[in-house]
Amino acid sequence: MLILVANLGSTSFKYRLFDMTDERLLARGGVERIGSAKARFSAQAGGTAWEEEADAPDHAVAVEACLRFLADPQRGVLRSPADIRAIGFKAVHALGLTGVHRVDASVLAAMEAYNNVAPAHNPPYVRAMQLLAEKLPHIPLIAAFETGFHQTIPPANRLYAVPREWAEKHGIVRHGFHGASHRYIAERTSEILGRKDLRIISCHLGGSSSLCAIRSGQSLANSLGFSPQTGLPHNNRVGDFDPFALSVIMRATGKTLEQVLDDLANRSGLLGLSGVSNDLRDIEAAADQGNAAAQDALAVFVASVRHYLGAYLVLLGGADVIVFTGGIGENSARLRSAVCEGLEWLGISLDPQRNVAAKGEMPIQHASSRVQLWTMPTNEELIVARQARAFLERSAG
């Protein structure tokens, strides 16, 4: 069963093609700068890599071109695009929907209703899914929502202290996100250690970041809340924030609520704090050159990770494993070291050499550490492909 998993940005499309009979990755690739005449196509399949610039006015054209490449007799890995059983999407948020769904008009409407709650994610997904449904009607589109993994979060960690009907009538609760990543980390860690009853704190630190407390494979809390703008500071999104500051900023600047929310969703987070960049590498470099705002941005980010780490250690009664994943979690030894600093009394002790040398899936704890510490590349696409396969099998049977 071949499943293509699509990851969409406003001007990008990345994919992985899996053979789900044995979960083999057959090909990966994507298109950047969609909407321009010089979109960049790239692919890796069967040991060959390929790059090309071409016109890609919209996502459907980009996807069709990728499917043609995959079915190319010389370089491709498919006999025909019709061999693809489904396109799976790591969808973020929808009004009143979670779990896995075949994309139809009602799913698109539910996603569109939350365009302003997930402004970086939902609009490009809705647009691209609409186009794909029109142009590739023979391929089922399956949306696996990020919130699905967090259905096990109990009321204590799910409810905000707001009038009850906000939750009951309007769904204003902590939904949690990054579900595919945290689910992968939970499953993979259990597989590596050969145990299902683990207490895991999964730290997904990247363009957007969240911590998740997991017991026996189930999510008990996630630092992302009602929207993907909450919790830790993100690359350009705010993280936790006091809503009473909104009216002060609106009055002081004359901005509308929409404009202030736009600032919080696009010009805040690490970018807003540092004034340097939304990329941690640039912020680390600026901090090393003495830039005080960049130093503050790093300090706030680390403090926020430690805030949730402390909360989740209490929630789980300790941890068996702490996993660092995402672009920052996997690659920034300095960040991991700052997060774990002085936590030996909790049984958390990094091995400095292993930490600096870590690449891919690696244990990085010191021999004296009670808690195992790991770096681990996530594989959200594989989780979506598994969810799409299970959905197709359920629908067929």
Q: By the criterion CB under 6 A, which residues form the site for ligand ADP? A: 206-208, 235, 279-281, 326-328, 331-332
Provide, rounded to whole angstroms, the least separation between the CB of residue 113 and ligand ADP.
24
How distant, in Å, are the alpha carbons of 281, 362, 364 from that of 356? 15, 11, 9
How distant, in Å, are the alpha carbons of 104, 108, 301, 365 from that of 314? 42, 39, 20, 20
Provide, rounded to whole angstroms, the least separation between the CB of residue 181 and ligand ADP.
9
Name the residue nearer to ligand ADP (CB basis): 331 or 375: 331
Q: Are residues 22 and 36 in contact, defined by beta-carbon separation less than 8 angstroms?
A: no
For residue 44, the cross-strand partners are 28, 49
Name the residue nearer to ligand ADP (CB basis): 237 or 386: 237
Name the residue nearer to ligand ADP (CB basis): 136 or 330: 330
Helix (H), strand (E), coil (C) string for 154-176: CHHHHECCCCHHHHHHHCCECCC
- In angstroms, what is the C-alpha Rg of the chain? 21
Provide, rounded to whole angstroms, the least separation between the CB of residue 385 and ligand ADP.
17
How distant, in Å, are the alpha carbons of 90, 136, 229, 309, 369 from that of 132? 15, 5, 28, 40, 50
Q: Are residues 73 and 48 in contact, defined by beta-carbon separation less than 8 angstroms?
A: no
Name the residue nearer to ligand ADP (CB basis): 210 or 365: 210
- Kindly state the greatest CA–CA separation across the chain: 63
Provide, rounded to whole angstroms, the least separation between the CB of residue 209 and ligand ADP.
8
Provide, rounded to whole angstroms, the least separation between the CB of residue 281 and ligand ADP.
5
Provide, rounded to whole angstroms, the least separation between the CB of residue 9 and ligand ADP.
9
What single letter denotes the amino acid at residue 12?
A: S
- Phi and psi angles of residue 185, each rounded to the nearest 5 degrees, phi first: -60, -40
With CB atoms as reference, the residue minimizing the distance to ligand ADP is: 327
Name the residue nearer to ligand ADP (CB basis): 281 or 370: 281
Q: At what angle do helices 59-70 and 122-135 cross, to 10 degrees?
A: 60
Name the residue nearer to ligand ADP (CB basis): 207 or 347: 207
Name the residue nearer to ligand ADP (CB basis): 181 or 190: 181
- Phi and psi angles of residue 277, each rounded to the nearest 5 degrees, phi first: -170, 165
C-alpha dihedral (316, 304, 10, 170), degrees to nearest 10 = 60
Provide, rounded to whole angstroms, the least separation between the CB of residue 380 and ligand ADP.
9
